[in-house]
Amino acid sequence: MGRQMCELCKDRRAALIRPRNRQQLCQQCFFVAFENEIHKTIVDNRLFKPGERVAIAASGGKDSTVLAHVLTELNRRHNYGLDLFLLSIDEGITGYRDDSLETVKRNEIQYGIPLEVLSYKALYGWSMDEIVREIGRKNNCTFCGVFRRQALDRGAAKVKADKMATGHNADDIAETVLLNIIRGDIARLSRCTAIITGEEGALPRCKPFNLGNLDCLFTYAYYKKLDYFSTECTYSPNAYRGYAREFIKDLESIRPRAILDIIKSGESFRFALTTKMPEQGTCEKCGYISSQKWCKACVLLDGLNRGLPRLGIGRTRGKSSSATGIQTDNSCSDKQTSIRNDKRILKPSLDF
């Protein structure tokens, strides 16, 4: 039996089925539909203002590569008037980040937008290779996640960015909702579904793909033949997040709306006025935003420098991880770091 015709143009053969609505589309109509959805998200949520300098957090992975490609295209097509650039962090992971940075350097040329790279070694005096030699492979991602977030902020400040755009998609947000519920992390739960965060601070972050799910990004990157890096991190651990990822993908396989439903649930939580939220201040040591005397990075760095790398790890009795300031799980939203590569994601299963 031949393929169905595309449901939009009714002229070409359908090449894929969209997981969100089971729509059967040809490649061209899928590209147009996907790009229009991102444009609508940007416009409806007023993610950018004309003239803004926007840092695209770029890892060389699929999501950030699609983000760089689509934002460059929409900026030109719809005259957003944005000054875009790529911002990458070199964690110092041999055989992983060094290779993925080569991809970002090619993206710089392909999209014609400048690239800024900051390294952990230059910022903190430690590469991840050196940290793993100290701490082992159990809590390495706690260091990496804390350092990366601050490194991105520092990089954006260095190049005077007004805003940062990240490639977080619906799957990431659903995972984060689940993880925050499991940890009882009310502070993070209250803001993790927001499309823009940090508006009160110096550098707001936005997620233009907040409703785009991972399968769509993969399909787009695959059919557009984008140049991205898909090797798993050398230190990919038994990541807690990886289990959450597998769980929601299993849910999605029997209920396609499951991911959007989890996000909706996260948005629907109402927090009692009596719920104590951490108060934002600044780190006494480095001046970075912190709800504690020292920011998370300074606590971890202090332990490393004193030869007591586990000092900053762990949970203070009776306090949530937001309150202690340290994430106690191995959170990494890099899709390459799932404990088991997701078969549905990493092959073009949307093909007929």
Identify the H or E element spanning 42.
Answer: helix 27-44
Q: Pick the stretch among 79-87, 105-113, 186-194, 228-236 that binds ligand SF4 (CB under 6 A).
A: 228-236
Identify the H or E element spanning 281.
Answer: strand 281-282
In the complex, the smallest distance separating the C-beta of residue 252 from ligand SF4, rounded to whole angstroms, is 23
The residue within the footprint of ligand SF4, chosen from 334, 338, 342, 345 (CB under 6 A), is: 334
In the complex, the smallest distance separating the C-beta of residue 170 from ligand SF4, rounded to whole angstroms, is 20
Report residue 186 as tokens.
């009310």
Distance CA 200, CA 280 (A): 11
Asked if 135 touches ligand SF4 (CB under 6 A), the answer is no
Number of residues that bind ligand SF4 (CB under 6 A): 12
By CB under 6 A, the residues from 313 to 332 that bind ligand SF4 are 332
Helix 27-44 vs helix 214-223: crossing angle, to nearest 10: 130
In the complex, the smallest distance separating the C-beta of residue 135 from ligand SF4, rounded to whole angstroms, is 11
The residue within the footprint of ligand SF4, chosen from 82, 152, 233, 323 (CB under 6 A), is: 233
| CB nearer to ligand SF4: pick between 146 and 262 | 146
| CB nearer to ligand SF4: pick between 41 and 331 | 331
Q: Are 330 and 241 in contact (CB under 8 A)?
A: yes
Which residue from 72, 42, 339 is spatially nearest to 195, judged by alpha carbons? 42
The residue within the footprint of ligand SF4, chosen from 65, 139, 169, 236 (CB under 6 A), is: 236
In the complex, the smallest distance separating the C-beta of residue 140 from ligand SF4, rounded to whole angstroms, is 5
- What's the CA angle centered on 296, arms 59 and 161, to 5 degrees? 45
**Residues 84-113: x/- map of binding to ligand SF4 (CB under 6 A)?**
-------x----------------------
Q: Are 301 and 256 in contact (CB under 8 A)?
A: no
CA dist 292 → 155, 191, 203, 285, 317 (Å): 23, 19, 20, 11, 16
| CB nearer to ligand SF4: pick between 113 and 297 | 297
Torsion angle of the four alpha carbons 306, 310, 313, 318, in this order, in degrees rounded to the nearest 10: -100
Residues making up the chain, counted from first to last:
352
By CB under 6 A, the residues from 139 to 168 that bind ligand SF4 are 140-141, 144-145
Binding site for ligand SF4 (CB under 6 A): 91, 128, 140-141, 144-145, 233, 235-236, 332, 334, 337
